[in-house]
Amino acid sequence: MSNVSTQIDLMIARAKKAAEKFNGLGQLEVDRIVAAMTRAGVANERKLAEMAVEETGIGNVEDKVIKNHFGTQVVYDYMRGKPSVGIIDEDDSIISIAEPFGVVAAITPTTNPTSTTMFKSLIALKGRNVIVFGFHPRAQKCSEEAARIMLEAAVEAGAPADCIQWIAEPSIEATDALMKHPDVAIVIATGGGAMVKAAYSSGHPALGVGPGNVPVYIEKTACLELAIPDVIASKTFDNGTICSSDQSVIFDDKEVAQRALDLFKTHGAYLCNEEEKAKLEAVMFDKERGVPSMAIVGKRPQVIAELAGFTIPADVKMLMVPLTTTGPEDWMSHEKLSPVLGWFIVDSREKAISAAVCQLEFGGAGHSAVVFTEDEEAAKEFALRVPANRVVWNHPSVHGTIGALYNDLVPSLTLGCGAMGGNITTENVGYKNLLNIKRIAKRKAA
């Protein structure tokens, strides 16, 4: 047995003991623990944001502060007062009883390291689960600090020791051993496609997510004064690192498209020509792996342009490139994880929706899509046809898909993509996904 396997065995053994103790706590005790964790997370949201940017070089501090606040306070506000222990629902025929899964193995990304760590800790402990993390190696230090803050607050509020643990020396071998350990009950994975696939092949139930590659359909009746600022706010948030950030805007009318592009420029976008687009493509992708290059992920547009060999004004918020198609033949229609957005113009609703479908099918099936329109029938047709499990209507993609801010979706930093994306759920993953619910079924009256 390797040293790594031995270390994972010891961690899981401690986790099992913690889970046994946690299982004896009641709802009030659990809620007190989760509330204390939330307060600690909020108190440290700026420090953790600064650590994440310093360690990873991805995104920006102010937006990561917002992410950390969302992953703690907003998530807690949604869970507050909701039952997660014992009998959680009862009607005339069915009594629902919540029990913990047990040991949760959690994988976190480099793009949203501290917010995802705190979010997963909260939803796990809300259901009396314990959690063991495998952090992305490029975000180990900040992720450890987020987990430590959550752990200390939880234990001080009455949670068992070792309810939150993490791999101290990250490696593929260690993460694989964690996910495949026989005493792990469920895996919740957020990260690259290879890691999510590994989670689903671990032999355990798994909650994973697929890539986004979100299309935005700006239909001819759309209020452009609403749509364009919303798209920019979403696409530039934390320099485009959230998986549900916009990747292409699709227009069904040439005149509307021109007015929209003018507004994009007015609001801080830089419209690239074909030569600049080609230069961007050359530096933005690892084409062998089919993913964005880490050199551009979460970087400012000025940095990306400089890498590509041209300069842009200091006040530019994002880059925009013309697309020849929304299919894989045009690399700039792939997921970009940066403040770079494609635009594509067709001449009908049918073609626009087909373009959105194409973009999702090759690079983001099951994830999310956006439509701006004042025509309800157009919105419904779009939603019925696109292979996306979250369709955001007339609000920004990032802020809409993660839930709670603009709508009543469950607030989450793990967005399920369903069967289309190779995932087990279509939902915004929350604490309920980490409850093992059994049911007492009463006999019906004759």
Catalytic residues: 243
What amino acid is encoded at 442 in this protein? Answer: K
Contacts of 341 (CB under 8 A, 6+ apart): 231, 235, 246, 247, 248, 249, 269, 318, 319, 320, 321
Strand order in the sheet with 269-271: 269-271, 318-322, 340-345, 246-251, 214-218, 366-372, 388-393
Contacts of 374 (CB under 8 A, 6+ apart): 221, 222, 223
Instruction: Report how far residue 391's alpha carbon sits from residue 14's, in angstroms, rounded to the nearest whole number.
Output: 42
- Containing 291, the helix (H) or strand (E) segment is strand 291-292
What amino acid is encoded at 76 in this protein? Answer: Y
Q: Of 421, 242, 390, 272, which is closest to residue 332 (Cα–Cα)?
A: 272
Question: Which tokens sit at 180?
Answer: 């495949």
